[in-house]
Amino acid sequence: MSAPQSAIPVAKPVLGEEEAEAVRRVILSGWVTQGPEVAAFESEFASFVGAPHACAISNCTTALHLALKAAGVGSGDEVITVSHSFIATANAVRYCDAVPVFVDIEPDGYNIDPGLIEAAITPRTKAILCVHQLGMPCDLRSIVEIGKRHSIPVIEDAACATGSEILWEGRWEKIGKPHGDIACFSFHPRKVVTTGDGGMLTTANPDYDRKFRLWRQHGMSVTDAVRHGSKQVIFEDYDELGYNYRMTDLQAAVGRVQLRRLPELVAQRRRFASQYCEGLSTIPGLSIPVEPRWARSNWQSFCVRLSDEIDQRAVMQALLDQGISTRRGVMNIHLEGAYAGQNSHRAATSLTRSVSAQQQTIILPLYAQMTEVDIERVIGALRQAVADAERVVRQPEQDVVPA
């Protein structure tokens, strides 16, 4: 019997002494929310992605809510997006009392099919909410063109895409550099960099940025920092309905360290993704993800696809039996109970590609602390699991062969 092998989780944040030290520094400073660390994190994030404005916020879901609200999305309006995403994408539309209008994904990827967007536009369409799913940039150029042609704002759900890049007029640019109107990021531990929970909004539009800052702090006309620093007594006003969507300085201090780690984290993930692609490309019945010529994914998730007849659950179980955790691919929002209601959404196209992607895909372990040996172990286990599943599939045919 071989020695038991250590478990390989599907993801793992990279957090260390530097993050712990940053939080300690903030605690001892006495200023713990939306203060100097948040301001510094915002300006460092803005320069990292190349955006004129970056506004820190409590998470990406609240970022999406404020982005849609800033774009003027309100009661009864429609927002074109995908069902094939994390549920927060469409939930944010519903927070605006608007209707998510789902279109299908591309035939060979997990992002919105730009060719389906125009036919879904109605007089009530107020925004296009595209997702850079699993960190892979969507076809932003085509989507922005459609938005411009119809004067509809484009909002990017870039929750997974911190550090991903897109080729724009011959230059590699970070996702979050404004081409769409607003981009929304997540710093949940399942993403490439984390602040525990947290988010960021980037935009080129100063009015949007001003609104985000107002709304994230109860609609209060004066920030804590201004009031605190003032030599005169100031009374604040609340002219608009706001929210408490603040990021704390504890989170921002962690975020600043994570941002410094990010380039190396992405480089490491890209090396592991290449190793996966090379090792997995020869497995019959399995397809590897495609990175378009104009995209550089941060590989927030590495998602493989099984041919139709192979049992996804059996393959995942076989891997788990070897100590290797995986996850099913991206969910379909329209199949969830929260979307069973009459006015919860509208499907503008068939969603068959979205549904079959969910049924056929598996997310493999990928995190910076893995080793090449771990990657090889996953490749080997997956090769075996797929072969075993294929044998099960072929079984009935073999049975009818006369002895």
Residues forming the active site: 191
Amino acid present at 240 = E
Query: How far is 174 from 226, CA to CA, in rounded Å?
Result: 32
With CB under 6 A as the contact rule, which of the stretches 19-27, 65-73, 156-164, 388-396 interacts with ligand PLP? 156-164
Nearest to 126 by CA among 95, 90, 80: 80
**For residues 332-351, which are near ligand PLP according to CB under 6 A?**
none
Task: Please state, in angstroms and as integers, the Cα–Cα distance from residue 223 to each residue in 34, 125, 234, 385, following that order.
Answer: 9, 34, 11, 57
- Residue 400: both structure tokens together: 């009818």
**For residues 128-147, which are near ligand PLP according to CB under 6 A?**
131
Query: How far is 293 from 224, CA to CA, in rounded Å?
Result: 46
With CB under 6 A as the contact rule, which of the stretches 81-89, 112-120, 306-314, 395-403 interacts with ligand PLP? 81-89
Q: Which CB sits closer to ligand PLP, 216 or 377?
A: 216
Task: Please state, in angstroms and as integers, the Cα–Cα distance from residue 155 to each residue in 132, 140, 143, 148, 167, following that order.
Answer: 11, 10, 10, 12, 18
Q: How many residues bind ligand PLP (CB under 6 A)?
A: 14
Phi, psi of 306 (to 5 degrees): -95, 150
- Please select the residue that binds ligand PLP; options are 83, 125, 186, 297, rule is CB under 6 A: 186
- Please select the residue that binds ligand PLP; options are 121, 160, 303, 381, rule is CB under 6 A: 160
Is 88 a binder of ligand PLP (CB under 6 A)? yes
Query: How far is 306 from 125, CA to CA, in rounded Å?
Result: 36
- Residue 179: both structure tokens together: 């081409």
Q: How far is the CB of 338 from ligand PLP (least distance, A)?
A: 15
Q: How far is the CB of 88 from ligand PLP (least distance, A)?
A: 4
Nearest to 363 by CA among 86, 144, 147: 86
Site map 191..220 versus ligand PLP, x via CB under 6 A = --------x---------------------
**For residues 273-292, which are near ligand PLP according to CB under 6 A?**
none
CB 172 within 8 A of CB 51: no
Q: Which CB sits closer to ligand PLP, 34 or 186?
A: 186
Q: Which CB sits closer to ligand PLP, 34 or 89?
A: 89
Interior angle at CA 186, CA 25 and CA 135, nearest 5? 125
Task: Please state, in angstroms and as integers, the Cα–Cα distance from residue 61 to each residue in 90, 93, 165, 188, 283, following that order.
Answer: 10, 10, 22, 11, 38
Q: How far is the CB of 75 from ligand PLP (least distance, A)?
A: 23
Is 60 a binder of ligand PLP (CB under 6 A)? yes
Q: Which CB sits closer to ligand PLP, 131 or 175?
A: 131
281's CB contacts (< 8 A; 6+ apart) are: 288
Q: Which CB sits closer to ligand PLP, 357 or 389?
A: 357
- Please select the residue that binds ligand PLP; options are 23, 54, 105, 159, rule is CB under 6 A: 159
Q: How far is the CB of 59 from ligand PLP (least distance, A)?
A: 4
The residue ranges that bind ligand PLP (CB under 6 A) are: 59-61, 85-86, 88-89, 131, 157, 159-160, 186, 188, 199
